[in-house]
Amino acid sequence: METSQLLLLLCVWALSSLSLQSAEMIEHCPDRILDNEKRRTCPKKCQQDNDCGNKRQCLCDGPCGLSCVAPGRTCPWPLPSSEHFDVTLLSPSPSFSALLEVRCHPGYTMTNGLNATIHRCQGDRQWSGDDPLCTGRNAETEPESKLACPLPDHDLLLIHGSAAIGSTIQYQCAPGYVLVGSSENFCHKDQMWRYPHPVCQRVFCPPPQEINHGYLVAVQKSEYNMGDTIYYLCKKNFLLDGPNQVTCQLDGTWSTVPSCRARCPIPAQRSRVIVGGVKSWPYDLTDGMVTHGENVTFFCKHPQKSCSFTATETCFDGLLPAPNCYREPTWFQYKLYPHRLVSEINPCDPADLDSTSE
Ligand X SMILES: *[C@@H]1O[C@H](CO)[C@@H](O)[C@H](O)[C@H]1NC(C)=O
Give the end-to-end CA distance of the chain in Å, rounded to a whole number: 60
Using the minimum distance from each CB to ligand X, give the nearer residue, 35 or 190: 190
Sites for ligand X among residues 159-188 (CB under 6 A): none
Residue nearest to ligand X as judged by C-beta position? 115
- The answer to whether 150 contacts ligand X (rule: CB under 6 A) is yes
Residue 236 corresponds to which amino acid?
Answer: K
Which of 166, 189, 167, 170 shows the shortest CA–CA distance to 181? 170
Three-class SS of residue 159?
Answer: strand
Strand partners, 201: 178
Using the minimum distance from each CB to ligand X, give the nearer residue, 2 or 153: 153
- The answer to whether 112 contacts ligand X (rule: CB under 6 A) is no
Please give the Cα distance from 33 to 183 (Å, whole number).
20
Using the minimum distance from each CB to ligand X, give the nearer residue, 153 or 251: 153
Sites for ligand X among residues 292-321 (CB under 6 A): 293-295, 314
State CA 186 to chain mean position distance: 35
- Cα four-point dihedral sign 39, 44, 50, 53: negative
The least CB distance from residue 337 to ligand X, in Å, is 32
Q: What is the dihedral of CA 196, 107, 153, 73, to 10 degrees?
A: 150
Whether residue 78 has a cis bond before it, omega within 30° of 0 = yes
Neighbour count for residue 198 (Cβ, 10 Å): 20
Three-class SS of residue 55?
Answer: coil
- The answer to whether 151 contacts ligand X (rule: CB under 6 A) is yes
- The answer to whether 273 contacts ligand X (rule: CB under 6 A) is no
In this chain, which stretch among 18-26, 68-76, 146-154, 165-173 interacts with ligand X, using CB under 6 A? 146-154
Q: Applying CB under 6 A, which of residues 19, 67, 115, 247 lies at the interface with ligand X?
A: 115
Q: Applying CB under 6 A, which of residues 69, 148, 234, 296 lies at the interface with ligand X?
A: 148
In this chain, which stretch among 74-82, 180-188, 212-220, 290-298 interacts with ligand X, using CB under 6 A? 290-298
- The strand pair at 289-290 and 264-265 is best described as antiparallel
Enclosing H/E stretch for 117:
strand 116-120
Q: Applying CB under 6 A, which of residues 106, 143, 303, 350 lies at the interface with ligand X?
A: 106
- The answer to whether 225 contacts ligand X (rule: CB under 6 A) is no
Residues 55-94 vs ligand X: string with x where CB under 6 A?
----------------------------------------
Q: Residue numbers of the site for ligand X (CB under 6 A)?
A: 106, 115, 148, 150-151, 293-295, 314
